[in-house]
Amino acid sequence: MTAAVPAIAFSTVVTCEHAGREVPERYRPLFAGHEELLAGHRGWDPGAGELARALAERLRAPLFVATVTRLLVELNRSPDHPQLLSEVSRALPAAERESLLRDHYFPYRNAVEAAVGERATPGSPPCLHLSVHTFSAVWEGRRREVDVGLLFDPDRRPELAFSSALRGELLHRIPDLAVRFNEPYLGIDDGLTTHLRRRFAADRYLGIELEVNQRFPLGDDDAWAALQEAVLESCTAVVEHAPAAVPAP
């Protein structure tokens, strides 16, 4: 069985919703006593910003990076999602919560959506949105047996085809890499890509979340550098060459 990838170029946008753990001065008193929480994996995605910046440079794509901690407002959740605000920021008065969304949440989300909209127009190459994340190597006491996760909507054939091609390229470069589809999270869970799929048709927009195990950015420097280069080369190969068909798992 094969999965076809459109033999045309993509117009690519790279985003990173959890690149940092900065706390704007206005909200620093709110995080007093929460320093350990802020420094941990819930505060940010270690290595994600570094990889996203390199990927955008390699693909010559516009880059949107959020460096404010996700514990203030979660940019990868819908406005009505219960995890939009953390247990820390939920303590803010209603007016402050509205200000937080107005100043930090909607400007980022609207800017990404506008960039996608400019590229997902009929008659132009489809827009490929690569949303870069990292995930904790151990969850609830169990080691995650995933190195790279490719999150997408399996009902959208272009996303399945792209992910199949990307997985093949990654395994060509690092054969023992554990590359999984829709692990450790589901690509159809609430998120920025899921929101944008509701706005743009499958042949106009491909939303791929690239999830990397944090054991790489937090571990051996050489292994992290090698993985980054494999990701950059693999994404470039699929974006620029768009093979006609690749094996489907």
Q: Does domain 2-247 have CATH number 3.40.630.40?
A: yes
Q: How confident is the model at residue 238 (pLDDT cuts 50, 70, 90)?
A: very high
What Å distances lie between residue 177 and 38, 146, 227, CA to CA?
30, 8, 9
Supply 105's token pair. 């949440």
pTM, entire model: 0.92
Contact (CB, 8 A) for 47 and 97? no
What is the predicted pLDDT for the residue at 184?
A: 96
Model confidence at 246, pLDDT cuts 50, 70, 90, reads very low
Cα distance from N-terminal residue to C-terminal residue, the chain: 8
Type and span of the H or E element at 2: strand 2-4
For the cut 50, the answer to whether the pLDDT of residue 247 exceeds it is no
Residue type, 140: E
Among the listed residues 169, 163, 125, the one whose alpha carbon sits nearest the alpha carbon of residue 7: 125
Residue 124 pLDDT? 87
Q: What is the pLDDT of residue 140?
A: 76
Tell me what the mean pLDDT of segment 207-222 comes to.
97
pLDDT in the model for residue 2: 40
User: Mean pLDDT throughout 48-73?
Assistant: 97
29-43, 178-192, 228-242: which is most confident: 178-192
Q: Tell me the C-alpha to C-alpha distance, in Å, between residue 98 and each of 26, 43, 105.
A: 14, 21, 10
- Residue 82 to residues 71, 73, 117, 193: CA-CA distances in angstroms? 13, 11, 27, 18
To the nearest 10 degrees (0 to 180), the angle between helices 221-241 and 157-173 is 130
Q: What is the pLDDT of residue 3?
A: 47
**Is the pLDDT at 6 greater than 50, yes or no?**
no
Model confidence band, residue 244 (pLDDT cutoffs 50, 70, 90): very low
Q: Which residue has the higher pLDDT, 235 or 2?
A: 235
| 81-87 long-range Cβ contacts below 8 angstroms, 24+ apart | 81/190, 86/42
Name the more confident of 21 and 2: 21
Question: What is the predicted pLDDT for the residue at 242?
Answer: 62
Q: What is the pLDDT of residue 123?
A: 86
pLDDT at 5: 45
- Tokens at residue 156, please? 């959208």
β-sheet bridge partners, residue 95: none
What's the pLDDT tens digit per position in 138-186?
A: 987 789 999 999 999 999 999 999 999 999 999 999 999 999 999 999 9
Distance (Å, whole) CA 70 – CA 44: 6
At which residue do the structure tokens 């909209």 appear? 117
Nearest to 45 by CA among 88, 74, 24: 74
- Average pLDDT, stretch 229-238? 96
* Extents of the domains making up the chain: 2-247
The whole-angstrom separation of Cα 248 and Cα 43 is: 36
For residue range 107-116, what is the model confidence (pLDDT) as tens digits?
Answer: 999 999 999 9
Amino acid at 65: V
